[in-house]
Amino acid sequence: MNITEFNDAVSTDRMTLVDFYAGWCGPCKVAGPEIDKLAVDPFIAGKVSVIKIDVDSDGADEITAVCGIRNIPAALVYKSGKIIRRITPPEMRDIRAIIMREIEVEA
């Protein structure tokens, strides 16, 4: 994914969860399955898009710089092109509850 595709993806009216991870990152391997579950959760999937950005992939340097990602795992919640929530590594274990609260705020 390049920066243009990223900007298009997060600029929609639909809430978007962006997961920043790397294959070598131990904590990312713990958080990843929880985020994957969100993408197929019957309630959440209808309201939130999930994008996964491997920080080691082509184009990721520009995306992580624009998003201010300095540590992984990290997740950002976007709505209409704006970051509405930053999810820090300690919060990743509660990511489903955090996303549910954001959906309630939107309602």
Catalytic residue numbers read 25, 28
User: For residues 30 and 63, is the Cβ–Cβ distance under 8 A?
Assistant: no
> What Å distances lie between residue 58 and 27, 53, 64, 94, CA to CA?
22, 10, 11, 29
For 81, other C-beta atoms within 10 Å of its C-beta total: 13
Asked if 73 and 27 touch (Cβ cutoff 8 Å), the reply is yes
Which of 23, 7, 79 is closest to 55 using CA atoms?
Answer: 23
